[in-house]
Structure 1
């Protein structure tokens, strides 16, 4: 029996290898949102200024979504950090801004472990100067009870700018 050998071109080999690598990496997870997702809010605005949030129509995501708008520098936040941040909060159901530290002019400071679960899971890893979009489902926000201006079972849209981490 004679075995025939075929030559595989280098470009064909690289194309197949690259395709396999992309499939493997995409299965690994990592970020909770992909760039191709169309049902997440968009954010505009310059670094160091109040952001503008554009909420999409339709059903909100049912899992926590995080998307970095600007990367920060320095030490990353952890769940035990005390954060100093500017934030803007929008309610998904109305598309209206409910609260913003930018309106008062001063950032808010608090221990990360003492805020809603969506922040505890979505803020770690941020660095000073970073801006992140968080889309928080009700079970990681204020739940069925709501709270203050937040209605029951509300999906929250936050844009968070880290000013300081201690």
Structure 2
């Protein structure tokens, strides 16, 4: 009869042996980080425009993406604040974290085009929803969204599975 403790030790031993000893082992076999810990608030890239009349650009980066949601205010608004249950309208640019390549933008449909939704109601991806809450009208926010708060492991449409996304969002109205 095999003891329960033996069943628990065997998988752990197999996992450890698969990792190598770290001495002279194959570097490719070593685990690599896919994200980094980051504060939930940060400074936005200096290249993101503060001019709310112009479409913002998302810079490319070679930095590891954050493991969690990160928001960075480019412009702090002075109007009503978006809270769960608020009807909001935003302008946005959505891009891939690493390349800065835009996959969607309300700006592409016209400078006055907005996306209306109810904050906290699950009408947009979770990271976008969370990232907009707390913004004040007249603000621009740079929101970095990990895959688990975006389109997940499977992706959707032009978004591949596991993608970290960036949205630059202008809060136009709250009611």
TM-score normalised according to structure 1 size: 0.73
Q: CA RMSD in A?
A: 1.9
Residues of 2 paired with 1:60 and 1:128: CA distance? 28
Give the aligned partner of residue 3 of structure 1.
none
Residues of 2 paired with 1:97 and 1:123: CA distance? 19
**Which consecutive unaligned segments of at least 5 residues does structure 2 have?**
1-38
Q: Which is strand-richer, 1 or 2?
A: 1
Quick check: 1:59 aligned with 2:64? yes
**Which consecutive unaligned segments of at least 5 residues does structure 1 have?**
1-30
Q: Would the aligned equivalents of 1:41 and 1:53 in 2 still touch at CA under 8 Å?
A: no
| Match among 32, 38, 51 for residue 40 of structure 2 | 32
Give the aligned partner of residue 108 of structure 1.
115
Per-residue CA deviation, residues 113-145 of structure 1 (Å, 9 max, x unaligned), is 221111222111111110000000001111011
Per-residue CA deviation, residues 26-69 of structure 1 (Å, 9 max, x unaligned), is xxxxx72344x9xx685125122211111211321111110000
Give the aligned partner of residue 26 of structure 2.
none
Q: Would the aligned equivalents of 1:93 and 1:154 in 2 still touch at CA under 8 Å?
A: no
Q: Spell out structure 1 runs of 4+ moving beyond 2 A.
A: none
Please, which moves more after superposition, 74-83 or 128-137? Answer: 74-83
TM-score normalised according to structure 2 size: 0.70
Q: Would the aligned equivalents of 1:76 and 1:127 in 2 still touch at CA under 8 Å?
A: yes
Residues of 1 paired with 2:60 and 2:74: CA distance? 15
Give the aligned partner of residue 132 of structure 1.
141
